[in-house]
Chains A and B, each alone.
Chain A
């Protein structure tokens, strides 16, 4: 199988599209921010498991009777059996038991409850530590790639990783999907995949560069195209296999990790896309500049008789 698509030729539109996505992300973050889960906002989250296709309005009226005006409640779970209720107040145990009892009475079933009470400082600290961790990890990866490959590959890899992490944040901000602690795990997973992808493509570029020794732009861009084509089947197949995992987790994996698996699905495509359309393109543009700059330098050569 040979895909003769000229990836390098269309580098500008693809880089532009990526830039637009980043701008949309920044805009969305400024306008509506992130829908932070209870881990980052002070308050209590209660998950009441009631029964299939639970009537949320009925649950809401129970909550209203308990003094919560316009309760923030929604149905969740694969069979819509869970009522997720969030409040900015910290609820104590007797109050939670009262709500549980009232709901059990209202629906005539034994309601179970899962509670989360959070001081936002803890969640924010965890996020901050994770971000510091990601940045330091990027620095280490950059150093390793610079050492094993060369600095242009290193910079392109790091830029791509940060882009992928930001793309998921954009997606979650744009569609106002709740950000919880698993979201951080998802970003970490995606960075792992994206890096894996980028390294595989770069490894092939490096190998072909040694073999083909490109001198002109045509040779250089042809070499990069060839490398992408050679690794494309592998990229598609790997994305497909992981996608099987991520999709079945998304469809069957339960409420707790639904957002996580969604982030994983989005990130998988982003990771495969970015290693081809961002990482490789940054490298080829930069490399060509260096080649040109090298040619323009005045050289003193011995005259040959």
Chain B
């Protein structure tokens, strides 16, 4: 039989392409993946809206949006805010440096009110502010103030007319910020709030006012803070453990299965790389349960390779030629692998529908993992094997760890 150089060239090109691609871009892809707070440290808090107020999905969405605008004040990239059940909101801030400040900023009701001189009844509210109008400014003594602007200038003008010569206390929630005395009737709806100690404080208040008040009261029911160093350590530990186990799997698979083992290792590298790319592309947050699902996926990918190799070895032992053993083996093992993968995927989908938080993260990673495993360990693996065998370069069953004396008569 003539050796077909074209097929060998395709085989080598694919393998080299996978290795080069994974080798050069895996690290940037890995860095692009958002790591959960259990892997990089951070702060998570679960809020519940007490039952004594009207809560529906629209209100919760408003709250989630207001919370997100507040988090932007903190400068945390990609916060995760999810609505759970019908009265809870989970906020996950991975990589936040100061959990105490985050909690303080998130939990504030942040309703700004201007009240009548006794400080009891609000006359105009933060909701009447022009969106985005609050900003840091400085008064004539160079003290930091917050400049604000009302939507309805006339309304504010009427209020200042009514209470002229009296104080108009400004409250943030139940805390009095300042109590300026109205000197003149203010038209045009512009005013400033003094009483901030530092420019930073004034800036933060301005951001809070722009973010808007939370439409309902929230109660903190659960919180979880991971120290950044602990988070990094568990990620490093997990990566080392993962690297070591992958190395052992490679040695074992090549040692036991020889040529198909070598192909399996190539497809496992492709599996890992593809998985990372999809995680980065879909902006899936990688958490410890997600890594667990990833390992399950490696297991399934190795298993798919093992099932096929075992099948091919069986066919070789009954005396088939390499080509027909490969054909029969991959055909017979396909349905087995498909059923095993499909049922696991079914379980993943159900868990996604019913799970919350960690369980959901697990199921997303599981579904991604199984799809990747199917593409690489079934598709790619077969393609590479058939290229090798059809090139006529590989003829010896020993490469499949089948000894001559094991081969029976067909």
Does any Cβ of A come within 8 Å of B143's Cβ? no
Task: Verify A184–B244 contact, CB threshold 8 A.
Answer: no
| Contacting pair B288 A136 (CB below 8 A) | no
| A174 CB-CB contact with B under 8 Å | no
A49 touches B249 (CB 8 A): no
In the complex, per-residue mask of A227-259: 1 if CB is within 8 Å of any chain B CB, else 0: 000110110011011101111110111111100
Contact with B along A106-149 (1 / 0, CB 8 A): 00000011111111011001100110111011001100110010
**B185 touches A (CB below 8 Å):** no
Q: Does A296 contact B (CB under 8 A)?
A: no
Given A136-B354, A140-B346, A195-B340, A238 contacting B238 (CB threshold 8 A): no
Q: Which of B342, B343, B357, B363 contacts A126 (CB 8 A)?
A: B357
**Measured CA separation A240–B238 after assembly (Å):** 19
The answer to the question of A186 belonging to the interface, with a C-beta cut-off of 8 Å to chain B, is yes
Please tell me if the beta carbons of A207 and B332 are within 8 angstroms of each other in the complex. Answer: yes
Stretch from A9-17, A21-29, A196-204 that touches the partner: A196-204
Among the stretches B74-82, B204-212, B219-227, the one at the interface with A is B219-227
Please indicate the chain B residues that have their CB under 8 angstroms from the CB of A130 in the complex: 351, 354-355, 359
Q: In the complex, A189 Cα to B369 Cα: how many Å?
A: 12
Cβ-based interface call for B281 (8 A): no
Alpha-carbon distance A195/B339, docked complex (angstroms): 10
The verdict on A237 contacting B237 (CB below 8 Å), with A118-B222, A192-B344 known, is no
Give the residues in chain A near B153, CB-CB below 8 Å.
none
User: Across the two chains, which residue of chain B brings its CB closest to A203?
Assistant: B336
B332 closest partner in A (C-beta)? A207
How would you classify the secondary structure of chain A's contact residues: helix, strand, loop or mixed? helix
Assess whether A196 is in contact with B344, with CB atoms less than 8 Å apart: yes
Cβ–Cβ < 8 Å partners of A78 in chain B: 237
Q: Residues of B contacting A136 with CB < 8 Å?
A: 350, 354
Taking a contact as CB atoms under 8 Å apart, the answer to whether B222 and A117 are in contact is yes
Closest partner residue, chain B, to A94 (CB atom)? B100
Do A184 and B347 touch (CB < 8 A)?
Answer: no
Interfacial chain A residues near B85, Cβ < 8 Å: 125
Residues in chain B near residue A122, CB distance under 8 A: 46, 221-222
Instruction: Assess whether A195 is in contact with B344, with CB atoms less than 8 Å apart.
Output: yes
Inter-chain residue pair count (beta carbon < 8 A): 206
Size of the A side of the interface (Cβ < 8 Å), in residues, is 69
In the bound assembly, the distance between CA atoms of A189 and B244 in angstroms comes to 20
At the interface, yes or no: A70 with Cβ under 8 Å from chain B?
no
Per the bound structure, the CA–CA distance linking A260 and B291 in Å amounts to 11
A126-B358 CB under 8 A given contacts A182-B292, A240-B252, A257-B234: yes
Query: In the assembly, what is the distance between CA of A97 and CA of B22, in Å?
Result: 44
**Which A residues touch B343, using CB under 8 A?**
141, 144-145, 195-196, 199
Q: A113-B227, A245-B242 are in contact. List 16 more A-B contacts (CB 8 A).
A: A116-B223, A117-B223, A130-B351, A133-B353, A144-B346, A185-B293, A193-B296, A196-B343, A200-B303, A238-B299, A245-B246, A245-B299, A248-B245, A249-B295, A253-B241, A254-B238
Using a CB–CB cutoff of 8 Å, the interface residues on chain B facing chain A are 38, 46, 85, 100, 103, 221-227, 229-230, 233-234, 237-238, 240-242, 244-246, 248-249, 252-253, 256, 288-289, 291-293, 295-296, 298-300, 302-303, 306-307, 310, 314, 332, 335-336, 339-340, 342-344, 346-348, 350-351, 353-359, 362-363, 366
